[in-house]
Structure 1
Amino acid sequence: MNQRIERLYHRSSEHSAIQSNGDLLPIAFKELGTASEELLVALEQLAEQQEQLVESRTQLEAERRRYQSLFEQAPHAYIALDSNNTITSANRAATRLFDCTQGLLLHKPFSILVPIEERREFREELQRRQQVEDEQEWQVRLYSPHRQPFDAAVLLSVERDAWGNIVSSCLCIRDISDRQRAQAEKKKNTEDLLCDRPRHTFSKGENIPLQPDALWLVCKGWVKLSTLTESNGEVMMGIVGPGIPFCRTLTVLPIYQVTALSQTVELTAIPHQEMAQASHLTQVIAEGVNQRLHQAELLLSVCGRRRASDRLLTLLQVLKTIVGEPVTNGTRLSLRLTHQELAEASCTTRVTVTRLLSEFQHQGKITIDNTNHITILE
């Protein structure tokens, strides 16, 4: 419009000496009419865009209310943090967990919910997990002015912008103090159950005989369960640790061998007749058998891999869940297995295992220390 008015102005100045300004009126009216039509079209387009924006805003508001409702009604406690780890929102479960109102939580640093003596360590761990986007739970000691400190399992999720900068974080918090107490009570009951029983000691590499009328329960160390193939090849069937039972009645294999893996293995024998009469003893045994079942499924998943490298990697992950202990850079296998034993468990050869472990080291997947213990890197 400005450009057209400017052109009309220049034309009126140029033709002022030749023709009257009245000759320019038809041209001006025509220009104004065209501009008016274009403005009407633009106005209609703006009105249509405004309707679309209103509709989009309505949909977004409905989605926001729906997710806000899900956030508030979630069974676990959720606390959202900004880039400075300041609390921006907390759902109802969080207020119930800390026995306070949202007003006492909002706009406060999350570290105020951690005991003073543990705050520095928590802040460092939170920053570390925000950088590596670790989705594994970790245990934290939390408290509020209205309740005593309690053990909690915390799971972190991080939202980033297009440049990778942290925009917000969300913590899912579960009170595990009851579970901790139950585990401590279970451990005490097991210790009380076994403390007065005689123990049988075996050294590393020694074969452990199976008794026909009793069940072995591991008190200390690790033992290997294996069988032999028709060509005298050994196949690992499981690794049994403290609190896990084994006996002849728990297998259908005709050849079943039990070998001590640790330097010292301590076992106690429980007669079958006694198990039938003691319900608390039956519960301990049932939990151990359940662990054996889970371990057997994990070992079956190893055999299902076609490539030897995939089988060995899967086996290392299985051993990580069974005998792994967390360290700074990953998980260290507390039990040292020979290359032959790894080959037996992953259905391959010792030479292949040696080659693959070397490749995994060069790829940064594992490290092997001077005591030959394997550490699976994060």
Structure 2
Amino acid sequence: MFASTRDKNLIFPYRKEHKDVYSRSLIITFSKGQFIPQTAEKLWLLKKGAVKTLSGSEAGKTNILGYWGEGDVIGSSLSKVNTYEAQCLNTVEAISVSLEQGRFLFKEISHCIQQTDELLRIIRTEKMYSRLSSLLIWFASKFGSQVLQGTLINIRLTHQELAEIIGATRVTVTRLLNQLEQEEMITRPRRFAIVIKNFGLLESKRQ
């Protein structure tokens, strides 16, 4: 199931109170597209990579719950949905943490709650242009890396996924992305790749 494991001594340090979490832990590596197994007794502390959490509805539709990266804690025990899945968007390194050990991760879990609140704030924004702009800024802040043109969002985002997050149609998202590109707020060097060219200008335009 897992691609590889590595010794606990290679785990990057967080804080002193994490010593108990790491004492008997291995880094587990998952490949892009793999689903991280979920049980009610375990959490996962992400060390590297990006994960998308999903839930299935009674109608058979898949709903996106959130996007998570380095330092985030995920797990079905943190959610009330009936079906909880975590899919790797790229190579992911994670540490399996028991609920007992999870008491040392209060700061990380609190951050995840704040992140969920921020996404809810974004999707409640009245104007679709502002919703999409805010979402792209959020993705770039969390998963971005600096390139010559600006900040590259380091995960694959389809127009349909962006539409589902902000509650729009795919056609609307395509139109808005084209508008942002024409306004030189973003550039798309290749398919599914988005670069924020100017954070400050995009933030001012989303108001």
Name the counterpart of 2:169.
Answer: 349
Q: 1:368 to 1:195 in 2, by over 3 A?
A: farther
Correspondent of 2:150 among 318, 325, 330: 330
1:202 aligns with 2:22: no
> Which structure has the greater CA radius of gyration?
1
Equivalent residue of 2:196, what SS?
A: strand
- Whichever residue aligns with residue 127 of structure 2, its letter is R
CA deviation vs aligned residue, 1:91-135 (integer Å, no higher than 9, x gap): xxxxxxxxxxxxxxxxxxxxxxxxxxxxxxxxxxxxxxxxxxxxx
Match of residue 67, structure 2, among 216, 239, 246: 239
- Aligned in 2, Cα 1:193/1:325: closer, same or farther, shift over 3 Å? same
SS in 1 for 2:132: helix
RMSD value, Cα: 2.8
TM-score normalised per structure 1? 0.44
Residue 95 of structure 2 aligns with an amino acid whose one-letter code is T
| Structure 2 equivalent of residue 35 of structure 1 | none
The Cα shift of 1:189 comes to 7.5
Q: Against the structure 1 CA distance between its residues 192 and 251, is the aligned structure 2 distance closer, same or farther, given a 3 Å change threshold? A: closer
SS at match of 1:318: helix
Listed as ranges, the gaps of 5+ residues in structure 1 are 1-183, 277-281
**How many Å separate the matches in 2 of 1:314 and 1:337?**
15
Question: 2: distance between equivalents of 1:275 and 1:368?
Answer: 40
Amino acid at match of 2:70: P
Q: How many residues in Structure 1 have an aligned counterpart in Structure 2?
A: 187
- 1:7-30: per-residue Cα shift (whole Å, max 9, x none)? xxxxxxxxxxxxxxxxxxxxxxxx
Matches within 5 A, 1:73-222: 186=14, 194=22, 197-222=25-50
- Deviation of 1:209 after TM superposition, in Å, equals 2.0
Q: Decide whether aligned partners of structure 1 residues 308 and 230 sit closer, same or farther in structure 2, where only a CA change above 3 A counts.
A: farther
Residues 341-366 of structure 1, C-alpha deviations (whole Å, 9 max, x = no match): 22221122333322321221111111
CA 292–332 in structure 1, closer or farther in 2 if over 3 Å, else same? same
| Aligned partner (choices 125, 128, 144) of residue 305 of structure 1 | 125
Contact preservation (8 Å) 1:320, 1:332: yes
Q: Secondary structure at the match of 2:96?
A: strand
Q: Which amino acid in structure 2 is aligned with residue 217 of structure 1? A: L
TM-score by length of 2: 0.76
- Aligned residue runs from structure 1 range 7-18, under 5 A: none
Aligned counterparts of 1:259 and 1:336: Cα–Cα separation in 2: 13
Find the residue that maps to 1:239 and give its secondary structure.
Answer: strand
In the TM superposition, residue 367 of structure 1 has moved relative to its aligned partner by 0.6
Pair 1:250-2:70 in alignment: no
Residues 1:269 and 2:89 are matched in the alignment: no
Q: Structure 2: which 5+ runs fail to align? A: 1-11, 199-207
Whether the aligned pair in 1 keeps the contact of 2:42 and 2:77 (CA below 8 Å) is no
Identity in percent: 32
Query: Higher relative contact order by CA 8 Å / sep ≥ 6: 1 or 2?
Result: 2
Instruction: Indicate if the aligned counterparts of 1:245 and 1:288 stay in contact, CA closer than 8 A.
Output: yes
Match of 2:108 among 279, 283, 288: 288
Give how far 1:194 is off. 4.1
